[in-house]
Amino acid sequence: MIRPRPSLGLLDRVLRVLFPGVLFLLLNGCSSISYYSQLASGQMQLLRAREPVSEVIADPQRDQKLRAHLAESQKARTFASQQLHLPDNQSYRLYADIGRRYVVWNVFATPEFSLKPQNHCFPIAGCVAYRGYYSQSAARGEAALQRLQGLDVSIGGVEAYSTLGWFDDPIMSSMMGWGDERLATLIFHELAHQRVYVKDDTEFNESFATFVEQEGTRQWRAYRHLPPESGAKAQQRDQFIQLVLDSRTRLEKLYVQPLPPEQMRQRKAAEFEHLRSAYRQMRDRQWAGDKRYDAWINAPMNNARLLPFGLYDQWVPAFAALFEKEGRDWVKFYAAAQKLGALPVDERKMALNVLSESKNING
């Protein structure tokens, strides 16, 4: 057995001893032994790869660019706890070189004529709208099986994920490729999951973390006396997201109509073409031909490819309104978010809708 570093903490040492039993309970209620196996193996490899960021920074034998990048990350990590009131623990004060572009690949699946995701449930973490794999080939295999069942399927690589405080989550090499600010935003996002998390509501959790990431990044830039993110860039991102969300809304209305399958397929294909056409008009008329989203829009389209937009962005305006309502006070905002999360699901969505509408009215 590998002796864990003392700095990794008592909780992690205990969980290593109890592993894989605790991990199985934490991560999944699935009956597939092979799926259990890859989850256990992948998480254990990640735990073993961790080392304190301070040791990497202090080691002159390590890559200088890596050391500098990690040094900047620790400034953002301290800001996250001191200014954004996110958890102050060892998460993201550790580093793990995982040797691949993404830590996991998530497989999203929906019925052919529905935007409702195939949920996968975890006894402690609750149900989520995807299934994660530490191997890209395993994710592709799962996607192929889902397609054989007639489902719409999409695979998305993930740079980071949160274990909700059960482990000290490390900064992973997969998080290091997009510059200092992008790494800071990932840290804010993942720590937000440790601050507020609602079982069985992926839309709530991801929209909450996305808002914390976005507002946290705005404050992080101001703290460093940097100007706000380029207005044009932010506007393009928001316009693109809204374009996809509008397409989701039209598809949801389409799928409840009593149409025969072939006609439904034709109308579905027409809606995706409408999305592409609307995007190109916006790109050429409003963005001066900026092609940053061309690769996404030109790839084969299906329901599952639209899922992350609904999951990560659906309630961001609602949380923005809640933040303003609570006087832009992070502690009060988190308390209000937890109170929302404790509501029954129908009441929660109704409250979020009201907040979203108030954000739209007030701008």
- 3-class DSSP state of 256: coil
pLDDT of residue 6: 39
pLDDT beneath 50, residues of the chain:
1-7, 10-11, 13-31
Nearest-angstrom CA–CA distance, 106 and 341? 25
Q: Does any domain span residue 7?
A: no
Residue 61 buriedness (CB in 10 A; 0-12 / 13-18 / 19+): exposed
- Spatial separation of the C-alpha atoms in residues 326 and 322, rounded to whole Å: 6
Last residue of a domain, one of 185, 204, 223: 223
**Residue 202: per-residue pLDDT:** 86
Q: Evaluate whether 184 touches 76 at the Cβ level (below 8 Å).
A: yes
Which tokens hold the place of 267? 């109308």
DSSP state of 177: T
Are 216 and 71 in the same domain? yes
Residue 308 half-sphere exposure toward CB, CA atoms < 13 A: 13
Asked whether residue 333 is assigned to any structural domain, the reply reads yes
Do residues 203 and 66 share a domain? yes
Q: Is 319 within 8 Å of 208 (Cβ atoms)?
A: yes
Kindly state whether residues 272 and 322 are assigned to the same domain.
no
| Total tally of structural domains belonging to the chain | 3
Q: Is residue 13 part of a domain?
A: no
pLDDT at residue number 82: 98
Residue at 240 is within a domain = yes
- Same domain? For 147 and 161 the reply is yes
For residues 90, 95, 99, 100, the Cα torsion angle rounded to the nearest 10 degrees is 50
- Do residues 42 and 106 both lie within one domain? yes
| pLDDT one-digit tens code per residue, 209-236 | 999 999 999 999 999 999 887 778 778 9
Q: What pLDDT shows up at residue 322?
A: 98
Put simply, whether the predicted model's pTM sits higher than 0.85 gets the answer no
The whole-number pLDDT of residue 142 equals 93
Cα separation, 286 vs 6, whole angstroms: 55
Domain boundary among 180, 195, 223: 223
What was the pLDDT predicted at 32?
66
Distance between CA atoms of residues 236 and 308, nearest Å: 18
Q: Which two tokens stand for residue 126?
A: 């609750």
Q: Residue 341 burial by CB count (10 A; 0-12/13-18/19+): exposed, middle or buried?
A: middle
Mean pLDDT of the chain: 88
Among residues 274, 297, 314, the one where a domain terminates is: 314
- pLDDT score, position 22: 43
Residue 121 — φ and ψ, nearest 5°?
Answer: -110, 140
- Please indicate, yes or no, whether residues 94 and 81 belong to a single structural domain of this protein: yes
Cβ atoms of 154 and 175 closer than 8 Å: no
Indicate whether 340 belongs to any domain.
Answer: yes
In a domain, residue 17? The reply is no
Domain shared by 112 and 197, yes or no: yes
Residues facing residue 153 across a β-bridge: 109
The kind and range of the H/E element at 272 are: helix 261-286
- CA separation for the pair 309, 319 (Å, rounded): 16
**12 in a domain, yes or no?**
no
Crossing angle of helices 345-362 and 316-325, rounded to 10°: 80
CA distances to 188, 212, 355 from 322, rounded to whole Å, are: 18, 12, 7
Domain that holds residue 240: 230-314
Which pair of structure tokens corresponds to residue 236? 């393009």
pLDDT, residue 362, reads 63
**Token pair of 170 as six digits:** 């490390």
Q: Is 168 a member of any domain?
A: yes
